[in-house]
Amino acid sequence: MSPGSQPLPVRVWCDGCYDMVHFGHANSLRQAKALGEILVVGIHTDEEILKHKGPPVFTQEERYKMVRAIKWVDQVVEGAPYVTTLETLDQNDCDFCVHGDDITMTADGVDTYHLVKTAGRYREVQRTAGVSTTDLVGRMLLLTRQHFRRGDLEYTIGHDSSSNMGQDSAARSPYTGCSQFLPTTQKIIQFSNGLAPKPTDRVVYVAGAFDLFHVGHVDFLEKAREHGDFLIVGLHTDPEVNRYKGSNFPIMNLHERVLSVLACKYVHEVVIGAPYSVTDELMSHFRVNVVCHGKTPIAADMDRSDPYAAAKKKGCFKVIDSNNTMTTEHIVQRIIRHRLEFEVRNQMKEKKEMSMLNTLSNGN
């Protein structure tokens, strides 16, 4: 570097499948971004994932879009190689590679980061406990078997010895039944922008479940953001979502859904446990200028009233067409259609990880 010149920004490389992008992925990318100034994320193709891991739930185009919507990501590289090489880092002007402290291997059982580790260009961040793509797929596979369906008077999980989940805790929604994520205020602060709308900002409010945060949500929130300067998302409680969606929805509990939505670059603030009906009081409190909803059907409130009646009366209600028909139910249907493939995938992943852990244990 010549005298007086500015140092080049530290460019950080992350790569992965990023299938069913969740708050665990976002947290890993948040930590990676903190180690440098520019975060570059490489995403594997469907073909590479199928070869090394099994069928992905989402297509590569869907996965590219999801990662681009994460607020800590500066650049996405499509079709990144499954094994991270020094050439990949150099081609993208990245100083080092970052990954979580979990195990990632090829179909042949080779550590996908062995080359960058050997070269000293690898950093590790803490994996977010309690969530993974494998875990989420497992929750939906359990859903198809009706293990966690909610009865009129009791939850079947309490009588299902095969579930191995025990009693519900604060970290487990009785509606999803199987979340192991432990929420903290610190984690919410880490994900939050910590911003308030300026007096001159046009505030947009949307509400919903936003369960299994997906590309349909991303497209909708991007469109909603275009209607103003500050986007607030109201997230309904687990019992409320269960009331209007039924079965064992939501798949992800309220705490998990909060982080997933907060990680989206179009969102400025989240109302945790928002009321189902958008009232005059709510709009006044948050100084809401426009209330948006997608083209999906709107369920009535418990008293059979229109939850958007107040917004419609004020003339500030807008229906948004995101041109994306993806829903959480569609994702579940994908899992159901390919249930056996995903079961095999999950079993193979567990087997490979156990083999690697045993090798490391014996080596010590």
Average confidence score pLDDT of the chain = 84
Is there a contact between 37 and 7 (Cβ–Cβ < 8 Å)? no
> How does DSSP classify residue 94?
-
* Residue pLDDT, tens place only, 114-163: 999 999 999 999 877 656 666 776 666 666 544 334 443 333 333 232 33
Q: Which has the minimum average pLDDT: 72-76, 110-114, 348-352?
A: 348-352
Side chain identity at residue 62, one-letter code? E
Q: Is the previous residue joined to 250 through a cis bond, with omega within 30 degrees of 0?
A: yes
Question: From CA 287, how far away is CA 228, in angstroms rounded?
Answer: 12
pLDDT band at 232 (very low <50, low <70, confident <90, very high): very high
What is the percent of the chain where pLDDT is above 70? 77
Angle between helices 328-337 and 133-144 (to 10 degrees): 80
Average of per-residue pLDDT across 13-26: 91
Would you place residue 77 in the very low, low, confident or very high pLDDT band (cuts 50, 70, 90)?
very high
What tokens were used for 5? 């010149």
Condensed to tens digits (0 to 9), the pLDDT of residues 274-325 reads 999 999 999 999 999 999 999 999 999 999 999 999 999 999 999 999 999 9
Q: Taking residues 179-197, report their average pLDDT.
A: 83
Report pLDDT digits (tens) over 334-364: 877 776 666 666 666 666 656 655 665 666 5
* pLDDT-based confidence at residue 183 (cuts at 50, 70, 90): confident
**Is the pLDDT reported for residue 173 higher than 90?**
no
User: Residue 14: is its pLDDT beyond 60?
Assistant: yes
The b-or-e profile of 15-44 (16+ CB within 10 A means b, else e) is: bbbbbbbbbbbbbbbbbbbeebebbbbbbb
pTM of the full structure: 0.82
Q: Give the start-end residues of each E strand in 71-145.
A: 75-78, 96-100, 122-125
What per-residue confidence (pLDDT) applies to 158? 30
Q: Where is pLDDT greater, at 30 or 339?
A: 30
**Torsion sign across C-alpha atoms 111, 128, 80, 108:** positive
- Out of 158-172, 182-196, 305-319, 327-341, which region has the weakest mean confidence (pLDDT)? 158-172
Do 80 and 44 meet the contact criterion of CB atoms below 8 Å apart? Answer: yes
Domains, in order of start, for the chain? 11-125 (3.40.50.620), 134-319 (3.40.50.620)
3-state secondary structure at position 276: coil
Per-residue pLDDT of 235-264, as tens digits, reads 999 999 999 998 878 988 899 999 999 999
